[in-house]
Structure 1
């Protein structure tokens, strides 16, 4: 059985444009919310604590918009790990609507970084063994 991290999201007025469909930057915000929820709920590494000394910035993002999403619909957002490296993760993602049609899919690369005390610079930092073990549960 594949272990995906999944969340539901209802499309609200704040998500749509004048045409009544999700405005594309809102999809990226939804993706970031999914990543943030995955770190907090599945990896026990909430952004509120992590960002005191570390970060997990997106360094590469590939997105394909497959179908429109409209106000009132509920999307199922799914995330998995395609590749785990020493200090980075390549995650696949897919958003589907209630008819199980793909609305959005793609791949995001995240890098684990250490933020210097002066907050002026960051540097890639390997994941510790505990974190690698937690992340590896989502490798597909």
Structure 2
């Protein structure tokens, strides 16, 4: 059985447009925050460790997003992250954001590629990182 990474998200004033709903580009920042938390808490390697120490990163190279239901300032969401595919240098993730009633607010599928930061080219996922990611791979 695969793991699901969960992260709480508080919708803040800074996330919202003048109508008080989440402005859609802010969701991409929230998605990146979920990935960053997953790396640190779920995979055991922070973005700081990856980027500043190891010289590697996991940039998003593709994203598809369905904005299912609006969220407003003050909402408390739960993000759920699953790995749906692992390649040699890539990981395809699904992130779902749910409201307090388990109502789907957003569904995104994104592809991350392991890259050498300075050379800006794809490299194979390190073995230890791949092993951690496999724990979140859907059955």
**Same fold per TM (> 0.5)?**
yes
Q: What residue in structure 1 maps to residue 117 of structure 2?
A: 115
Report if aligned partners of 2:2, 2:135 keep a CA contact under 8 Å in 1. Answer: no
Q: What residue in structure 2 maps to residue 100 of structure 1?
A: 102
| Structure 1 segments of 4+ aligned residues over 4 angstroms from their partners | none
- Deviations 1:25-78 (Å, cap 9, x if unpaired)? 111111000000001111111111211211111000000000000111100101
The Cα of 1:115 is off from its aligned counterpart by 2.4
Q: What residue in structure 1 maps to residue 18 of structure 2?
A: 18
Q: Are 2:68 and 1:70 aligned?
A: no
Q: What residue in structure 1 maps to residue 133 of structure 2?
A: 135
Give the distance between the partners of 1:11 and 1:62, measured in 2 at CA: 21
TM-score normalized with structure 1 length: 0.93
The Cα of 1:20 is off from its aligned counterpart by 0.9
TM-score normalized with structure 2 length: 0.94
3-state secondary structure, aligned to 1:51: helix
Give 1:28-67 correspondences, 5 Å limit: 28-52=28-52, 53-67=55-69
Count residues in correspondence: 136
- Deviations 1:81-140 (Å, cap 9, x if unpaired)? 000111100000100111211110020100001123xxxx31111012211110000001
Give the distance between the partners of 1:2 and 1:83, measured in 2 at CA: 12
3-state secondary structure, aligned to 2:9: strand
